[in-house]
Each structure stands twice: as structure tokens, then as C-alpha cells.
């Protein structure tokens, strides 16, 4: 599974927020707008995301965070990328460094295998410092999209639906 | 319109039940009666018979005589089925082990009853009637009838309480064989009586030859059909055919025996003996199949037994006679069985408790009484029928409870149990893995792995701070992470747990849990208390291990009994 095939321009947020909580809320909001869950489930999803953070921060070090949940309300697996070049200082990463790239992964409850694979895939991609550096220097979502996927634009400007989960 | 209702009312008759109503009432009421008595710790068969008595000739008289007589073939079938199943209990190994014991006890308990009943009846009747010939005739006839023990209601208790052990085996052996002894005694005694009661046709040799034919040919018919059925069983393996063939065989043997005037219970019993010894594995399946369909047949049969018991018309003299008969028979059976047990060096449980298992009398005794009535019409015949019916009435009501008491005291209850039976008696709580480690949801993957390596369970519940169930981690769920080592630092139990398909409560019957496992093709089910806290996890292999241990335990207990 390659997370890059699940990215669209609309799923990339150049963040103004610099605190963990508003950042996560912003990404959840984006996910809801992208149709990850029904609007009435947004509250429950938010709760799940913050619950997971309470158990242990998803800041995995070297400026990266991967907030992730499996959630019964998730219709299609969804990835939202948030970029904050200045860093989110209060993310409480395991190496205490500010987080610059946040990749939120939302999966359906029963997608255990895909979930682990996707997490691993994201980590592998971002572990390369060069890629991460380029990513935080991008100024538009389109540029970030191109950097991640290697494509210039998602087809006809529509969100690239991952047909595997449709 | 009014005419219509009038005509309907004219045709409707509830005071005299039709055959279907009798069947329904018997099965329905009988089952309720059985349940009520089971609650009182009295064998269900007593409940069936009491329901029969209530609706029958001694009670509300709801069942007209002509309908009762229509059930005769059914009664034969039920008795034949019971005999067949008793035969199935007589394995060669059992006969070898207990054969000597069977013969001694059989001989002494039957003759004990015969002599004491004969003696008591003779003395009392001679004192009352001052007629030595009449007293002697009654004494001989009642004495010989008293030897018989009812296999049906006795073995029904053994089946109900799933008993196993030396006492159980001995009871099966005795009740299977003592009717033959009773027939023999009766044949001799009725011939002797005929001679001195001045009736025609008293020919002991002829009677004996006739008996030899009845018994010998019955053995041949039973053995032949048993041999054939055993071959058929080997050829057909699906349950429907097995069951159908077997019931067909039982009916054929019974019908043939009736047509040839043979002892039909003996022939079907012999067939059972052959089947169980010629095809031990297949017949085990067959007897369990028959056991499953037998209940409604038994209920109906015993209710019908109850309906036919008529104790109306008993007077003081007959009352005295019945009491004397009862005392003599009970004492004779007790002393005889004790003596036989002691002489054959039976284990103490058999010596002590077998006498209590031999009180029931029914079909054979009543049959012989009716036979006597036909042979000696008038005063003697009527007296015998009423005495036997009245005493049957009493021993059928108390006999099964004595059997239950005896097998309970002998420690044989619940030892003859299959996996299916066993699983029904176990609560989920008992099987629960003691102290399954609970994994808090914020446990890191590395710690989870070390928990797996330290315990041998396959599934672990993931819980929150209040120990409430959140999910389950299995070998399968951690297997996925093996190829993604880079995640091991930040994956938590929360991330890799799976949601169980279903859960159950600690008081869910284990049988139901087992059903759920099979139905959903699961290997485990988490057990969750009503307050959502985890009680543990039931694994399929855990159930199997638990049951295997229990079965082994029972095997040991049975062996320890002797």
C-alpha cells in the first residue's frame, strides 16, 4: 500500500496554527470535509484522536507526527497531511523536537492489516530527511502534492479517489 | 345460523377425547408433570405416570377404553425400543465382568420374591378363606408374577440421571433378564395351579415346551435381525438412514414376534445386545440417535401406563392381599439381592443399593395377571388383576425414587456423560482462563510482545483504566507488525487491538458460547461482566481442554467404583 496514491491537493493543509490542539482540529475538519466520516461523527472522531494522543503522543521524532485512529465511522481510509514549517512546539514528540509535518491516518475499524502497512509506508517515506526538508519548504498545496506524488495535478482537479476502497 | 351452531355442538364432544387429543394431552401434560417432579428431585417418570393416572381410569376417566386399546401397538413399540436400548447396554465386556454376579443376584432376587410372596399370600389367604387350594393357587400365581421387575421405569431413571458404574451395569443386567425368569416361574406355577384348581389342560411339560419355543425362537429372531442390522449399519453412514433402518428393524422384530407368538421384548433386547457387540462404534451413534428421539415415546408410554392403572373396585380383602403381596415382594427382592450380591462377592455399592432398584413392576406383571385372569376366570383371576394393578400403581410411584436414591448414594450419577451433555452443565465462568493478563491500551508493542512470550494464551484483552474491555490482541494482530519493525517504538496496544466479533457474559451457558464459536467460526470470545469489565477470554481450545479433563476425571471415578 502506498499512501501517496491516497493524497490529493485538498488533503494537504499548509498550517497557520502552531499549537497541537488547533492543528489536530484543523486536520480533522479537513478530513470531515473530504468525506472521511459523516458530520455527526466528527465529534466522536475528534475524541478518538485526542484519546490516542493522551495514551502516548504520536510525535515519532525528527519533526514528524502521525496521529492515527481506526474508527468505525470511517467510510474510506483517508490521509491528511499538515505542514507547519515553523514547528509545533507543544506536540510532545518522543525526541522533544517541534513537529513540522503531521500526517493524519484514518482507517475503518476492521482494516488492521492495511493500517499497519500504511503507517509503515508513511514512516518510511518521511524518514528521509531530504524529502521532509523539501516538503516544509513548499509554499502551496499544489507544490506539496507534486513533491509527494510526483504528479502535477490530481486528475481534472477532482480528489483522486482511491478505488481500492471505494 | 343457529342450526349450524347446533349441528356443530352436536358433533363436538370433549368429554371423550379423540386419539389426537389423547396424544397431545399425554405428551404435553406428561412433560409438565415430569418437569414438576424433577424440581422435587423425583424422577420424571413418576410425573408421567401420575398425569396418566389423573386422566385415566382411576382419575378423570378422560380416555375411553376403546382408545386406550388402540394404543396397544404403540405400547409394544415403546417397550420394544426400551428393550432394544437395554440390550444395547449389555456389552460383552460387561457380561464377562459381571456375568456371575448377574446370575446369582437374578436367581436370588427373583426366587426371594417368589417364595416370600407365595408364603405370605398363602398364610394370609388361608387364614381368611380357610381354603387351602384357593390360597395355594393365589400364592403360586402371585408369587411367580412378583419375580418380574419393570425394566422401563427403572432404566428410565438411569438414563435420566446419566449413571454409570457397577450398580448401573448390574441393574441393566438384572432387569433385562428377570422377566424371563418370571415367565418361566409363571409357566410352571400356572400349570401346577391348573392341575389342582381343577381346570382342564394342566400340562407342565406342554407349558414348558411352549415356553422353550417362546424364549428360544425369540432369541433366534433377535439374534438374526441383530446380525443383519449390524451389517446394514456398516453399509450406511448417514444419520437419517441409520435411524430409519433401526426403527424399521425394531418394528419388524416386534411384529414378527407378535405374529409367531414369541417373547417380543426378549427378541428386541437380543437384537440390541448383538448390535452393541458386533458394531460397537456405529451402535454407539445409533443408541445416541435413538436416545434423542426416545423421550416423546417414553413420555407417551408412561402416561398411557398411568391411564390404564385401575384401582377402582378394590375392597378390604383385596387391599390386605395387595399389602401382603407388596411386603412379600419387597422383602424378597431385598433379601434375595443381598444374598446374591454377597455370594457373588459384588462390590459393596451393589450389595447395599441394588435391592432398592428392583421395586418397579409394570408391563410383564400386568400382562401375566391378565393372562392369569383369562386362564382362571372369576374370583381368582379378578383378584390377581386388581392386586397386581394396585401394587403396580404403588411401586411405580415409589420405585423410581428408590432407584434415584440408590444410584446417587452409590456415586454413579452423572458419570455416563458425553461431551454434548457435559458442555450443557458447565458455566462459562468455570472454563475462564484464570488470570488472563489484561493489557492496558497504552502498553507499547515491545511490552505486548513480552507478555505474549511469558504466557501461553493466544488472545489477550485490551482494557482501559477501569479494566473495561476495548479490544483483543491476538498472535495474528502482532504478526502484522513483525515486518514493520520501524513502528515498534510508537505502536501501542490500542493501535493493534482488534474488535471482537461478539462477547458473552460470565453466566452465559457454555453450550451457548460453544454454539457462538461454531456459528461465527471464531477461536475465542471475550467474557465481559455486566459492568463492562473484562472477566477473561474463552478460547475454543480452552473449552476442549476443560472438557477432556472432565471426561478423564469421570472415567477415573467410574473405574474407581469397580
Please give the residue range of the domain that contains residue A27: 3-151
Contact B252, B203 (CB under 8 A): no
Q: Where do you find CATH 3.10.580.10 in chain B?
A: 424-561
DSSP B313: T
Q: How many Cα atoms sit within 13 Å of B516 on the Cβ side?
A: 20
Residue A140, SS3 per DSSP = coil
**B-chain residue closest to A48, CA distance:** B494
- A160 belongs to a structural domain: no
Shortest Cα distance from B432 to chain A (angstroms)? 26
In A19-160, which residue ranges form alpha helices assigned H by DSSP?
Answer: 20-33, 42-55, 112-126, 129-137, 141-149
Residue B200 has a pLDDT of: 54
- Residue B498 bridge partners (DSSP): B472
Site from B490, B498, B501 to mutate, A interface, most A CB atoms within 10 angstroms? B490
Which residues of B are less than 8 Å from A115 in CB distance? 495
Domain count, chain A: 1
- Stretches where chain B sits below pLDDT 70 are 1-2, 4-17, 195, 197-204, 311, 313, 363, 433-434
CB contact under 8 A, B487 and A120: yes
Which residues of A are less than 8 Å from B486 in CB distance? 120, 123-124, 127
- Residue B546 bridge partners (DSSP): none
Contact B513, B544 (CB under 8 A): no
pTM above 0.80, yes or no: no
Please spell the DSSP secondary structure of B223-246, one letter per residue: HHHHHHHHHHHHH--SHHHHHHHH
Which residues of B are less than 8 Å from A119 in CB distance? 484, 487, 491, 495
CB contact under 8 A, B444 and A58: no
* Confidence category of residue A166, pLDDT binned at 50, 70, 90: very low
- A162 belongs to a structural domain: no
- A156 belongs to a structural domain: no
Distance of alpha carbon B46 from alpha carbon B152, whole angstroms = 12
CATH number at residue A91: 3.40.930.10
Contact A111, A79 (CB under 8 A): no
CA B362 to chain CA centroid, Å, is 16
Q: Where do you find CATH 1.20.1530.20 in chain B?
A: 71-294+314-416
Q: CA–CA distance from B246 to each of B85, B282, B284 (Å)?
A: 11, 12, 13
Q: How many Cα atoms sit within 13 Å of B320 on the Cβ side?
A: 12
Distance of alpha carbon B147 from alpha carbon B184, whole angstroms = 10
Residue B60 in grid coordinates = 378423570
Q: What is the pLDDT of residues B491-539, one digit of tens each?
A: 888 888 888 888 888 888 888 888 888 888 888 888 888 888 888 888 8
Distance of alpha carbon B18 from alpha carbon B386, whole angstroms = 27
Of the two residues B433 and A134, the one the predictor is more confident about is A134
Contact B202, B194 (CB under 8 A): yes
Q: What residues 12-51 of chain A have any CB closer than 8 A to a CB of chain B?
A: none
- Angle at Cα A35 formed by Cα A30 and Cα A41, nearest 5°? 85
Contact B407, B168 (CB under 8 A): yes
Question: Under CATH, domain B424-561 is a member of which superfamily?
Answer: CBS-domain (3.10.580.10)
* Confidence category of residue A164, pLDDT binned at 50, 70, 90: very low
CB-CB: which of A56, A68, A113 is closest to B442? Answer: A56
In B261-308, which residue ranges form alpha helices assigned H by DSSP?
Answer: 264-278, 280-308
CB contact under 8 A, A56 and B492: yes
Which residues of B are less than 8 Å from A94 in CB distance? 489-490
Distance of alpha carbon B129 from alpha carbon B139, whole angstroms = 13
What is the ipTM for the molecules in this complex?
0.81
Q: Which CATH class is domain B71-294+314-416?
A: mainly alpha
Q: What is the mean pLDDT of residues A62-91?
A: 87
Torsion of CA B275, B278, B280, B281, to 10 degrees: -100
DSSP B498: B
Which residues of B are less than 8 Å from A64 in CB distance? none
Residue B255 has a pLDDT of: 93
Residue A161 has a pLDDT of: 47
With an 8 Å Cβ cutoff, is A92 touching chain B? no
Residue B250 in grid coordinates = 425394531
* Confidence category of residue A156, pLDDT binned at 50, 70, 90: very low
The torsion region of residue B345 among left (phi > 0), alpha (psi -120 to 50) and beta comes to left
Residue A163 has a pLDDT of: 44
Q: What is the pLDDT of residues B189-226, one digit of tens each?
A: 777 777 676 655 556 677 778 778 888 898 899 999 99
Residue B253 has a pLDDT of: 93
Amino acid at each position: 500500500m502506498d499512501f501517496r496514491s491516497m493524497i490529493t491537493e485538498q488533503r494537504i493543509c499548509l498550517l497557520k496554527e502552531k499549537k497541537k490542539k488547533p492543528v489536530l482540529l484543523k486536520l480533522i475538519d479537513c478530513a470531515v470535509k473530504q468525506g472521511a466520516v459523516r458530520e455527526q461523527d466528527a465529534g466522536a472522531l475528534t475524541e478518538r484522536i485526542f484519546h490516542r494522543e493522551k495514551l502516548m503522543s504520536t510525535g515519532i521524532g525528527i519533526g514528524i507526527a502521525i496521529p492515527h485512529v481506526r474508527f468505525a465511522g470511517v467510510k474510506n481510509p483517508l490521509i491528511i497531511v499538515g505542514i507547519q514549517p515553523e514547528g509545533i512546539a507543544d506536540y510532545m514528540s518522543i525526541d522533544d523536537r517541534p513537529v513540522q509535518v503531521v500526517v493524519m491516518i484514518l482507517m475503518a475499524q476492521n482494516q488492521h492489516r492495511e493500517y499497519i502497512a500504511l503507517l509503515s509506508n508513511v514512516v518510511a517515506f518521511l524518514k528521509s530527511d531530504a524529502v521532509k526538508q523539501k516538503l516544509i519548504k513548499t509554499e502551496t498545496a499544489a507544490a506539496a502534492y507534486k513533491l509527494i506524488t510526483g504528479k502535477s495535478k490530481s486528475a481534472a482537479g477532482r480528489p483522486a479517489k482511491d478505488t481500492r476502497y471505494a | 345460523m343457529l342450526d349450524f351452531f347446533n349441528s356443530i355442538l352436536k358433533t363436538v364432544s370433549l368429554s371423550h377425547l379423540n386419539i389426537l387429543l389423547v396424544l397431545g394431552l399425554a405428551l404435553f401434560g406428561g412433560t409438565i408433570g415430569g418437569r414438576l417432579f424433577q424440581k422435587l428431585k423425583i424422577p420424571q417418570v413418576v410425573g408421567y405416570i401420575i398425569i396418566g393416572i389423573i386422566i385415566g381410569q382411576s382419575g378423570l376417566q378422560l380416555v375411553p377404553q376403546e382408545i386406550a386399546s388402540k394404543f396397544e401397538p404403540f405400547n409394544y413399540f415403546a417397550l420394544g425400543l426400551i428393550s432394544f436400548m437395554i440390550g444395547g447396554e449389555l456389552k460383552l465386556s460387561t457380561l464377562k465382568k459381571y456375568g456371575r454376579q448377574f446370575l446369582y443376584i437374578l436367581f436370588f432376587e427373583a426366587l426371594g420374591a417368589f417364595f416370600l410372596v407365595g408364603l405370605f399370600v398363602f398364610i394370609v389367604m388361608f387364614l381368611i378363606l380357610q381354603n387351602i387350594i384357593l390360597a395355594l393357587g393365589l400364592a403360586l400365581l402371585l408369587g411367580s408374577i412378583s419375580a418380574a421387575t419393570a425394566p422401563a421405569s427403572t432404566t428410565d431413571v438411569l438414563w435420566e440421571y446419566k449413571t454409570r458404574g457397577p450398580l448401573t451395569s448390574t441393574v441393566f443386567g438384572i432387569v433385562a433378564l428377570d422377566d424371563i425368569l418370571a415367565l418361566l416361574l409363571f409357566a410352571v406355577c400356572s400349570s401346577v395351579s391348573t392341575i389342582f384348581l381343577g381346570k382342564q389342560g394342566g400340562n407342565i411339560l406342554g407349558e414348558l415346551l411352549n415356553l422353550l419355543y417362546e424364549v428360544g425362537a425369540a432369541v433366534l429372531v433377535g439374534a438374526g435381525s441383530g446380525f443383519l442390522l449390524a451389517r446394514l449399519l456398516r453399509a450406511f453412514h448417514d444419520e437419517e438412514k441409520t435411524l430409519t433402518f433401526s426403527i424399521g428393524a425394531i418394528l419388524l422384530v416386534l411384529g414378527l414376534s407378535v405374529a409367531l407368538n414369541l417373547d417380543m421384548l426378549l427378541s428386541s433386547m437380543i437384537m440390541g445386545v448383538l448390535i452393541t457387540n458386533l458394531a460397537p462404534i456405529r451402535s454407539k451413534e445409533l443408541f445416541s440417535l435413538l436416545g434423542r428421539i426416545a423421550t416423546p415415546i417414553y413420555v407417551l408410554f408412561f402416561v398411557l401406563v398411568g391411564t390404564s392403572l385401575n384401582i377402582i373396585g378394590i375392597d378390604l380383602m383385596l387391599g390386605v392381599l395387595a399389602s401382603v403381596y407388596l411386603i412379600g415382594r419387597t422383602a424378597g427382592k431385598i433379601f434375595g439381592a443381598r444374598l446374591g450380591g454377597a455370594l457373588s462377592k459384588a462390590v459393596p455399592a451393589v450389595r447395599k443399593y441394588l435391592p432398592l432398584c428392583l421395586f418397579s413392576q409394570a408391563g410383564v406383571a400386568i400382562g401375566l395377571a391378565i393372562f392369569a385372569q383369562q386362564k382362571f376366570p372369576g374370583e381368582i383371576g379378578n383378584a390377581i388383576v386388581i392386586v397386581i394393578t394396585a401394587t403396580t400403581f404403588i411401586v411405580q410411584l415409589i420405585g423410581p425414587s428408590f432407584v434415584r436414591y440408590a444410584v446417587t448414594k452409590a456415586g454413579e450419577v452423572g458419570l455416563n456423560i458425553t461431551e454434548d451433555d457435559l458442555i450443557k452443565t458447565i458455566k462459562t465462568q468455570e472454563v475462564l482462563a484464570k488470570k488472563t493478563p489484561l493489557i492496558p491500551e497504552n502498553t507499547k508493542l515491545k511490552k505486548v510482545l513480552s507478555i505474549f512470550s511469558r504466557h501461553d494464551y493466544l488472545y489477550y484483552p485490551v482494557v482501559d483504566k477501569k479494566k473495561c474491555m476495548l479490544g483483543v490482541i491476538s498472535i495474528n494482530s502482532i504478526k502484522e507488525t513483525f515486518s514493520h519493525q520501524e513502528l515498534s517504538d510508537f505502536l501501542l496496544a490500542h493501535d493493534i487491538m482488534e474488535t471482537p466479533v461478539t462477547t458473552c457474559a460470565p453466566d452465559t451457558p457454555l453450550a451457548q458460547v460453544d454454539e457462538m464459536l461454531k456459528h461465527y467460526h471464531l477461536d475465542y470470545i471475550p467474557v465481559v461482566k455486566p459492568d463492562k469489565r473484562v472477566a477473561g477470554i474463552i478460547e475454543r481450545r480452552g473449552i476442549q481442554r476443560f472438557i477432556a479433563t472432565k471426561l478423564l476425571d469421570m472415567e477415573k471415578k467410574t473405574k474407581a467404583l469397580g
